[in-house]
A and B are shown apart, each in its own frame.
Chain A
Amino acid sequence: MTVEVAAARLPTIRRSGLSKEFHDGTAMMGRNLIAYKRVPQLLVFSTIQPIIFVLMFRYVFGGVVQKSLPPGVEYVNFLMPGIWVQTVVFGAIAAAIGLATDLKSGMLERFASLPVTRSAVLVGRTGADLIRNVFVVILMLAVGMIVGFRVGTNVIALIAAMALVALFGFALSWIFATLGLAVKDPETAQAAAFPVLAPLVFASIAFVPANQMPGWLQPWANNQPVSAVVLAARALVNGGPTAHYVIQALIWCAAVLLIFVPLGVRTYRRAL
């Protein structure tokens, strides 16, 4: 039974399928991107830290690490792909904090009462973070150029490396979106994120080669997702055998997305 409605509501458009996903997702994404425009500190903080890392590793630790690299490999060229990946990994925390904040402030409750797709909130968040990552990674490429980084292959391979790093960041955003919705509190989300990220970023081959680590740590450092993506990005910009590393990195990204896209949407539905 449908009830005759007395009130005059505004004309609406009934979208469905992909066109609705796109409409709702981009509306949410626009909202999140405005935050980066209005609160530039968000962007500044997410870029200052990697710049400090570049300067620190390039000029403070670089001399030591250089000795353990194969002949002919410049440390700055070894370092920069690691920095790009590290930047998007730490940047992914924003998804956890953002969604936990939205949950606490009642925004998600309001969204849940509106005719939007269940995935729109997460697509909007991770999509905005993807765009931010593209911006930040390009900035970090420029910083790298200033401190002596040079591409050993070609522009297409460079773009592919950037795209791969951005894709990895996008996949991680879904992990952290899920985490933020699960812990429901921005401070807790931030505190919970670091212990997850530290072993991924620092116990990886992003800044130093695995052969400088103790034997028990090397299997982890060689076979975890951050290292896989760094290896692929490094191969793409520095040359050498590439396909194997790229495929491995793509498998990691696909695996994370396959698990965390549905898990994130499920967690969102149950968070309210």
Chain B
Amino acid sequence: MPEGGWDDAVMDAAVKVEGLSKRFGDVHALDGIDFGIAQGTIFGLLGPNGAGKTTAVRILATVLKPDAGHAEVLGHDVVHDAESVRMLIGLAGQYAAVDPNLTGRENLALMGKLAQVEPSAIGPRAAELLQQFDLMDAADRPVRTYSGGMRRRLDVAASLVQKPPVLFLDEPTTGLDLQSRHELWRAIRTLVDEGTTVILTTQYLEEADQLAHRLVVVDRGAIIAEGTARQLKDRLGGTVIEMTMAGEDDIARAISLVEPIAGAKVERDGLLLRLPSPDGSHLLAQVIRRLDEEGVLPATVSLREPSLDDVFLSLTGHVAEDATAAEGAQERAKGGDGR
């Protein structure tokens, strides 16, 4: 495995995507995206709801057909050689798609059968996964008795039965508590150590930062940035200072006081002032000292790592909308015209 990311590894890329487009009615869910993923790495698709992440995953997993463009998984075209692609992938979609009437073990066995795994290998593999995802105690209970977190873990386990070389996880940790989230992250890293390539969508910069070797930020069907999570954060200045001021008068004064110290522009959002900085704690101390001298102390102060919202604001100039428009259009298109 070459060190330098996918550019150096195009010849044995796990996934190649060129000009991929998909429309639902009038909405461009994907508007010509390109990327490549090196084998044995974790690739993050980061973006708000409706950005097109799920559409991209569903096309790569051969569930949907693209309107234009081209995509390959391990050298197999996802449209013309879908059957070969299906032998090589695992998919855990946005819902916990497990059968509530089957036990955990039966769900895994069913997925193994459907993935065409050799019958004698299915039982041991199911047991191994139940162990790994901490579901052994509930293995022989119907899934409808499981908690949401357990279902989600089983769902991810079900996508792993055949040990797929390429694994798609669509917002895998949504709805998981902190502990389960960390367990899942650990499981994903283990898979990657064994050579699996993981494509993961997430709304959380933190998750992408923890897991993804490389990521692309998707907005309204297009890629607006790519790199590592670190690079994205650094672009924003590493940390973000946020202050809520008491009133309009204070805001104008605070901005005029802070900008000379920071040497950067302060973003304003109502009574909230936002100041990205590479060295937030040091700057924060200076800012507070100055504001205190002038008697314009803020009502609240916080110093934090940049979030997806900050990435969005800086990249697009608009906040990460909960863009239900695209998803709504998809629902309508699915329900309506019977494509």
Q: Which residues of A contact B (CB under 8 A)?
A: 1-15, 23-24, 27-28, 30-31, 34-35, 38-39, 105-107, 109-116, 120, 182, 184, 267, 270-272
7 A-B pairs whose Cβ atoms sit less than 8 Å apart in the complex: A2-B74, A3-B13, A3-B75, A12-B116, A14-B87, A23-B113, A120-B114
Q: Chain A residues near B76 (CB, 8 Å)?
A: 2
Is the beta-carbon distance between A11 and B121 smaller than 8 angstroms?
Answer: yes
Our pick among A27, A113, A116, A271 for the contact of B61 (Cβ within 8 Å) is A113
Is the beta-carbon distance between B63 and A113 smaller than 8 angstroms?
Answer: yes
Q: Chain B residues near A267 (CB, 8 Å)?
A: 338
Closest 5 CB pairs of A and B: A106-B95, A106-B97, A7-B195, A3-B75, A7-B165
Q: Chain B residues near A24 (CB, 8 Å)?
A: 114
Q: Chain B residues near A115 (CB, 8 Å)?
A: 83, 86-87, 114-116
Q: Once bound together, how far apart are the Cα atoms of A266 and B102, in whole Å?
A: 28
Q: Interface of chain B, helix or strand or loop or mixed?
A: loop
Q: Once bound together, how far apart are the Cα atoms of A29 and B170, in whole Å?
A: 28
Q: Chain A residues near B93 (CB, 8 Å)?
A: 106, 109-110
Q: Chain A residues near B161 (CB, 8 Å)?
A: 10
Q: Chain B residues near A7 (CB, 8 Å)?
A: 39-40, 163-165, 194-197
Closest Cβ neighbor of B116 among chain A residues: A12
Is the beta-carbon distance between B63 and A9 smaller than 8 angstroms?
Answer: no
Q: Once bound together, how far apart are the Cα atoms of A7 and B195, in whole Å?
A: 4
Is the beta-carbon distance between A111 and B114 smaller than 8 angstroms?
Answer: yes
Is the beta-carbon distance between B86 and A4 smaller than 8 angstroms?
Answer: no
Is the beta-carbon distance between A38 and B110 smaller than 8 angstroms?
Answer: no
Is the beta-carbon distance between A2 and B75 smaller than 8 angstroms?
Answer: yes
Is the beta-carbon distance between B88 and A5 smaller than 8 angstroms?
Answer: yes
Is the beta-carbon distance between A10 and B117 smaller than 8 angstroms?
Answer: yes
Do A112 and B63 form a contact, CB below 8 Å, given A7-B196, A9-B162, A24-B114? yes
Do A27 and B165 form a contact, CB below 8 Å, given A1-B75, A107-B97, A110-B93? no
Q: Is B211 in contact with chain A by the CB < 8 A criterion?
A: no
Q: Chain B residues near A106 (CB, 8 Å)?
A: 93-97
Q: Chain B residues near A1 (CB, 8 Å)?
A: 75
Q: Is B91 in contact with chain A by the CB < 8 A criterion?
A: yes
